[in-house]
């Protein structure tokens, strides 16, 4: 008889060997395809630092990107999943634009029945996505967005009033990301839902609380997101949730209440819910059918929810990163202030749509901010139709995952000399009607993505951020505080670019 201890040890060895065999079973995939690949680590593949929360996805992929400077693409493994990491701008453009029909989906797993809020434009696939995107695109036209300008101006006035009263009370040091998050929560609240959130005055407002719950970057929720992406069946079997149940109940409830109130009282507003209701009315003769899907209250709620999710956090972090760079680079801030002043003198106040559009240097600053701190650090695609990579012998199988390392490309000195330097003049030709991109190839600036799946709210986001900065910097000067960090670090548990520990700055009134 073997001692019990020996049996236990043998069982452990067998389990370890089985686990090793299972976790490395796909690691010959790229070799059989004759693709140069990064050497994977058992269990983790090539994303160990990302999974263990040592760095963000973008930073992890940047290390791999830099290890293969002469390759157009590199094979990697996300845990067990073989993934093609693209490096070449022409191939990136081919995947996102020219040959989009082969890469229409992102491959994000979602359960529209158990979690109806996940059935939104970002997750939807195939013809369902295509049809809904076609119907929603007109709601983000320049004309429709221009009609929302008054609501945006109102939120800006509330921000200035809050700053005025707070500074008058003696406080001049602010955690800027928290400040901008409250502001953008109010913007999305009024422009999407038609509601006054008052997050600036009431830090415990329901909308602000839900925003924090949605974007909670705790390690446990980060792990749940990893399980959802790489082990969707396990995610479903364990009944894990993408967002807390109270978030789902809140947004479904608030959308239903808003729709019922407007229908019962014949109320109309120039906001996103109203535009969706108009689409629904236009399709009544088709029993609310849009192609293969029915435009229900739940589907409307999902689209409004993703507008909230994508709109408030990405805009708030971009605004906070931009203000940080203004504080670090006072000469740039002075130049922005001069442009804002000249625009105010020419067009008057409040800033009109034409006035905002004319502020080219301010737009350059925003573009450079999103270059240095891209809100989404990598774009995800999945091969939906077999595809031969142009100019190569590589045939991609249906279901193959593809990653475009936005953060790495935005920090490649080949396209952006001295990439860690904040230099808005990189985008001078882009914003001043030169029609050029300062010599850069297409496919190397991707803060909003590219192709048919480019961010549908891009115009709205740019208008919102330009107006907010113009109103804010016209009245206030930002400088570094004792709590400021010269170099910003990202929060690894966040799926968006998020400053670790926040961004602290001094804010003082300008003397005009």
* Binding residue numbers for heme: 455
Cα separation, 128 vs 114, in Å, equals 19
Q: Which helix (H) or strand (E) holds 132?
A: helix 126-136
Tokens of 29: 């995939």
Q: Which positions ≥6 away from 334 have C-beta within 8 Å?
A: none
Cα separation, 7 vs 15, in Å, equals 12
**Which candidate, 312, 322, 271, places its Cα nearest to that of 470?**
322
Cα separation, 139 vs 133, in Å, equals 10
| Residues annotated in a binding site | 455
CA–CA distances in Å: residue 7 to residues 19, 35, 71: 18, 43, 49
CA–CA distances in Å: residue 495 to residues 112, 215, 439: 21, 9, 31
**DSSP 8-state symbol, 40:** P
Burial call 424-449: b when 16+ CB within 10 Å, e when fewer: bebbebbbeeeeeeeebeebbbbbbb
**DSSP 8-state symbol, 507:** E
Alpha helices in 34-83 (DSSP H): 48-51, 57-67
Output phi, psi for 493, to 5 deg: -80, -10
**Which candidate, 510, 502, 507, 508, places its Cα nearest to that of 483?**
502
Cα separation, 370 vs 319, in Å, equals 10
């Amino acid at each position: 008889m073997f001692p019990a201890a020996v049996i236990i040890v043998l069982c452990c060895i067998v389990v370890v060997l089985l686990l090793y065999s299972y976790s490395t079973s796909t690691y010959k995939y790229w070799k059989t395809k004759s693709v140069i690949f990064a050497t994977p680590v058992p269990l983790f593949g090539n994303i160990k630092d990302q999974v263990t929360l040592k760095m963000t996805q973008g930073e992890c992929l940047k290390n791999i990107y830099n290890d293969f400077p002469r390759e157009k693409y590199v094979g990697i493994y996300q845990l067990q999943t073989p993934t093609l990491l693209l490096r070449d701008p022409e191939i990136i453009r081919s995947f996102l634009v020219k040959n989009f029909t082969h890469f229409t989906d992102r491959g994000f797993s979602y359960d529209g029945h158990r979690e109806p809020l996940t059935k939104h434009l970002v997750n939807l696939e195939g013809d369902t996505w295509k049809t809904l995107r076609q119907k929603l695109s007109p709601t983000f036209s320049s004309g429709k967005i221009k009609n929302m300008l008054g609501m945006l101006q109102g939120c800006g006035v509330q921000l200035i009033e809050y700053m005025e009263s707070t500074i008058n009370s003696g406080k001049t040091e602010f955690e800027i990301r928290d400040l901008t998050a409250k502001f953008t929560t109010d913007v999305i609240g009024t422009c999407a839902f038609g509601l006054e959130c008052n997050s600036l005055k009431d830090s415990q407002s329901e909308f602000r609380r839900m925003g924090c719950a949605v974007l909670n970057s705790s390690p446990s929720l980060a792990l749940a997101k990893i399980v959802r992406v790489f082990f969707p069946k396990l995610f479903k079997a364990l009944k894990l949730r993408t967002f807390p149940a109270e978030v789902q109940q809140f947004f479904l409830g608030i959308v239903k209440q808003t729709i019922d109130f407007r229908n019962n009282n014949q109320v109309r507003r120039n906001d996103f819910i109203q535009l969706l209701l108009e689409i629904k009315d236009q399709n009544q003769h088709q029993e609310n059918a849009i192609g293969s899907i029915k435009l229900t209250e739940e589907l409307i709620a999902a689209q409004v929810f993703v507008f909230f999710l994508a709109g408030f956090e990405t805009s708030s972090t971009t605004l906070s990163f931009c203000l940080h760079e203004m504080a670090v680079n006072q000469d740039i801030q002075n130049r922005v202030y001069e442009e804002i002043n000249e625009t105010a003198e020419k067009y008057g106040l409040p800033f009109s749509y034409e006035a905002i559009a004319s502020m080219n240097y301010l737009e350059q600053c925003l573009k450079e901010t999103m270059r240095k701190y891209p809100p989404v650090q990598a774009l995800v695609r999945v091969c939906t139709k077999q595809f031969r990579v142009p100019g190569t012998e590589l045939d991609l199988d249906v279901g193959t995952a593809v990653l475009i390392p936005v953060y790495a490309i935005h920090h490649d000195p080949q396209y952006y000399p001295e990439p860690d330097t904040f230099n808005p003049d990189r985008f001078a030709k882009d914003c001043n009607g030169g029609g050029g991109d300062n010599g850069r190839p297409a496919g190397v600036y991707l803060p909003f993505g590219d192709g048919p799946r480019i961010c549908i709210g891009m115009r709205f986001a740019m208008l919102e951020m330009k107006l907010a900065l113009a109103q804010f910097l016209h009245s206030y000067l930002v400088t570094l505080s004792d709590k400021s960090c010269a170099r910003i670090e990202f929060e690894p548990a966040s799926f968006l670019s998020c400053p670790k520990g926040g961004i602290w700055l001094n804010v003082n009134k300008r003397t005009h």
